[in-house]
Amino acid sequence: MRTKLQISFMLIFKKVADIQAYLSQQKPAGRGIGFVPTMGALHAGHLSLIKLAKADNKLVVTSIFVNPTQFNDKEDFEKYPITTDTDVAMLIEAGCNVLFLPSVDEMYPQGTENMPVFDFGYLETVLEGAHRPGHFRGVGQVVARLLDIVKPDSLYMGQKDYQQCLVVKNLLGQVAGGNDIEMIICPIIREADGLAMSSRNRRLTDPQRAVAGTIYQCLISILSKAPSGNFTVVQKECADLLADKGFVPEYIALADAATLQLLDNYSATTQMVALIAAKLGNVRLIDNMLVEADS
């Protein structure tokens, strides 16, 4: 019996000109390029995006770039895990075709001062926007730059960063060619205790990791109170539970899933989303869950 030897390989580009030259020559017809932007420290959540991109596209491009301009907290940036060798191995295993791995100078050759500034209006002022000033400006700048380099047909982003997904959707309406890019928001991948997978989870100590699933329990209890009634009661219960487990909650919110307008009461007619951000020691965790309207 003959066994078939499967050899997987992935091209790695560090220079903008090189990846652009390659992609312009190789661009497949139709639904050609699926793009998964990341900051590395990859986990099963990222791999699920690559799997979906692979199923829909002829060529999957992933980027790894820890974008300094989106970190409002210096320590968060300095402690952001860098695991490039493992990431490369995981990407090859997942069947990624092309990795873009630029340096800061390659991404921002003229510095960041004169980069275009995108206005995301209300989205920049609420929840993540309020707690991480400047964060979405940085995300907008780097994603616009990456889209301009890769020119994908489809863009894959995780629902775990719910507000970021809304910001990037908005960005697609502001950049040239953005309306031709299909954005696919991929489901949150969770650990056995419900903790949403995140590159930051590896910074949790064992005792912190043991209680980190409490955020998920809070989201489940918010969901269980739907579809009607007052949200502020369960909001307070969650704040107390999180504080009891050693978290410092930043927000526990219920919002219109499309606009992120905050709600004090469950809505019978609007698709909602529950969102939580809380710090456990120095590690900031976020998570969310869609809450169906009563109709």
Catalytic annotation, residues: 46
CB of 63 to ligand PAF, least distance (A): 7
* Interatomic CA distance for residues 169 and 123, integer angstroms: 11
Contact 208, 172 (CB under 8 A): no
Residues at the interface with ligand PAF (CB under 6 A): 37-39, 67, 70, 139, 142-143, 161, 164
DSSP 140-199: HHHHHHHHHHH--SEEEEEGGGHHHHHHHHHHHTTSTTGGGSEEEEEPPPB-TTSPBP-G
CB of 154 to ligand PAF, least distance (A): 15
Tokens at residue 158, please? 């995780």
* Torsion sign over Cα 187, 190, 192, 194: negative
* CB closer to ligand PAF, 92 vs 183: 183
* CB closer to ligand PAF, 100 vs 266: 100
Tokens at residue 173, please? 């309406």
The alpha carbon of 96 is separated from its chain's Cα centroid by a whole number of angstroms, namely 18
Q: Which of 260, 250, 254, 257 is nearest to 232 (CA)?
A: 254
* CB closer to ligand PAF, 177 vs 207: 177
* CB closer to ligand PAF, 67 vs 267: 67
* Interatomic CA distance for residues 94 and 245, integer angstroms: 36
CB of 22 to ligand PAF, least distance (A): 21
CB of 241 to ligand PAF, least distance (A): 27
